[in-house]
Amino acid sequence: MNILDIIEKKEKKLELTKSELEFVINGYLNESIPDYQMSALLMAILLNGMTEKETVSLTEIMLNSGDKITFDFNVVDKHSTGGVGDKTTLVLIPLVASLGTKVAKMGGRGLGHTGGTIDKLESIAGFNTEITIEELKQEVEEIGASIAGQTGNLCPADKKIYALRDVTGTVASIPLIASSIMSKKLASGASNIVIDLKVGEGALMNNIDDARELANIMIKIGKAFGKNVICVLTNMNQPLGYAIGNALEVREAIDTLNGKGPKDLEELVINLASLMISLDQNVPMEILIESVENALKNGLGFEKFKEIVSYQGGDISNIPVATNIIEIKAEKSGYVKNISALKIGELARRLGAGRLSKTDEIDYTVGIVLTKKVGDEVNAGETIAKVYTNKVLIPEKDVSECFEITDFKVDKPKLIYEIIK
């Protein structure tokens, strides 16, 4: 068996066997297969796809390439495919845990125009995201939830392959995305998994058909490993909520946990929480919605958030944001027709809220806060956004150009497209 034959086989759109995939993955890990040959195979997969059988095999191989977490009780996990202003995890995990469902969440850092949960949490003074597997398990057992960075040696094959995909233009392969997400979720020990699959300009999946295809293969992978997976397709054509930037998003998450959050974020969190608890407790999600809404309004979720933060060494009384604030004014009256999530995310990154490479230092205090959303009426000269900045200045027109304002009334966009089980 050799790598050239395997590359040529995939170039001919033929199905690779599990042993061939094991040969490739193990060879790449032990460096007997170099980057340039692995890149060639990844490109062939991007162009020619993989069968369901191949995708399940690849997931299993990456899952078994490192450590796996096991729990003595059922836990639920949530994953987001990434978006702009997506602070959902910060609200969702404590909310679900406050209602008796245990949640173990390992988040990632932001790269590109999308933010990362771990960066957001590290804007809280003292919050420790670098905990061990044993510490994570103990926290979940004692208080019902933990939010940490990727810990231990989970799925090293995926980590190495993803880094290569990121620099070879092979990220947008649905089988590779599915196996990457699911290998990590399976290694994290979750019994049930809810995936917030973002769709739109600011997301990895730009159209609904690709999102459905990705959802269906992840659900099939879950079934192959005896796990329940539900995918929720959600709108990422405009930022979620109003705040974009680490500390700004934490503050908005805290507002939401106190019943004062943006309506779109509240809607998403209530639906995701109801699904997560329904999987754990085997109860229809519709029955749970009222309990979830009450936990959001009466501060039950916020109390659990404070418990998680305290357990991991954080202090929510100290979440500083930049004090240099520039107000962006509307150039005309009308209705907001579109807000480019992609452009807003890129501007926040330019301010220092995100990274151009994984080694970049970020500024937790900067970002952009919208004051208008799609469908809102606006008057000329009215503030449509506020830029929180320190060292980096961006032209005001770059922000205002993210907003499209029309003369005609615009309906509020649908947030949740569909739920796939």
Question: What is the Cα–Cα distance from 134 to 136, expressed in whole angstroms?
Answer: 5
Out of 102, 120, 165, 386, which one is annotated catalytic?
A: 165
Question: What is the Cα–Cα distance from 385 to 399, expressed in whole angstroms?
Answer: 8
Query: What average pLDDT does range 283-302 have in this prediction?
Result: 94
Out of 120, 184, 304, 373, which one is annotated catalytic?
A: 184
Question: What is the Cα–Cα distance from 83 to 238, expressed in whole angstroms?
Answer: 9
| Per-residue CA distances from 190 to 153, 162, 178, 219 (Å) | 17, 22, 16, 14
Is position 158 annotated as part of the catalytic site?
A: yes
Q: Which three-class secondary structure state does DSSP give residue 344? A: helix
For residue 1, how many other CB atoms are within 10 A of its CB? Answer: 11
Instruction: Using the predicted structure, report yes or no on whether residue 152 has a pLDDT greater than 80.
Output: no
Query: What average pLDDT does range 249-264 have in this prediction?
Result: 96
pLDDT band at 117 (very low <50, low <70, confident <90, very high): confident
Question: What is the Cα–Cα distance from 101 to 292, expressed in whole angstroms?
Answer: 12
pLDDT band at 142 (very low <50, low <70, confident <90, very high): very high
Instruction: Using the predicted structure, report yes or no on whether residue 257 has a pLDDT greater than 90.
Output: yes
Q: Please name the residue that has the structure tokens 């796990």.
A: 227
Out of 78, 79, 137, 159, which one is annotated catalytic?
A: 79
Instruction: Using the predicted structure, report yes or no on whether residue 318 has a pLDDT greater than 80.
Output: yes
Question: What is the Cα–Cα distance from 203 to 240, expressed in whole angstroms?
Answer: 11
What does the pLDDT read at residue 358? 59
Return the CATH number of the domain spanning residue range 324-406. 3.90.1170.30
What does the pLDDT read at residue 208? 95
What does the pLDDT read at residue 112? 57
Q: What percent of the chain has pLDDT over 70?
A: 97
Query: What average pLDDT does range 188-194 have in this prediction?
Result: 92
Residues 11-67 pLDDT 10s: 999 999 999 999 999 999 999 999 999 999 999 999 999 999 999 999 999 999 999
User: Which listed CATH number (1.10.3720.10, 3.40.50.2300, 1.10.10.10, 1.20.970.10) goes with 3-49?
Assistant: 1.20.970.10
What does the pLDDT read at residue 359? 67
Task: Identify residue 402 by its one-letter amino acid code.
Answer: C
Strands 416-420 and 367-370: unpaired
Dihedrals phi, psi of 391, to nearest 5 degrees = -85, -30
Question: What is the Cα–Cα distance from 212 to 19, expressed in whole angstroms?
Answer: 29
What does the pLDDT read at residue 203? 82
Class of 76-155+162-311 in CATH: alpha beta
Out of 77, 86, 119, 158, which one is annotated catalytic?
A: 158
Tell if the pTM clears 0.85, that is, is over it: yes
Is position 165 annotated as part of the catalytic site?
A: yes
Is position 180 annotated as part of the catalytic site?
A: yes
More confident residue, 148 or 24: 24
What does the pLDDT read at residue 420? 96
Yes or no: say if 240 and 264 are a contact pair by the CB < 8 Å rule: yes
Instruction: Using the predicted structure, report yes or no on whether residue 113 has a pLDDT greater than 70.
Output: no
End-to-end CA distance of the chain: 39
Instruction: Using the predicted structure, report yes or no on whether residue 159 has a pLDDT greater than 90.
Output: no
What does the pLDDT read at residue 114? 61
Domain ranges of the chain: 3-49, 76-155+162-311, 324-406
Two tokens at 350?
A: 């330019």
Instruction: Using the predicted structure, report yes or no on whether residue 247 has a pLDDT greater than 90.
Output: yes
Yes or no: say if 316 and 306 are a contact pair by the CB < 8 Å rule: yes
Out of 57, 98, 179, 180, which one is annotated catalytic?
A: 180
pLDDT band at 150 (very low <50, low <70, confident <90, very high): confident
Q: Is it true that 3-49 and 76-155+162-311 share their CATH fold?
A: no
Query: Considering the chain, what is the average pLDDT of its residues?
Result: 93
What does the pLDDT read at residue 115? 63
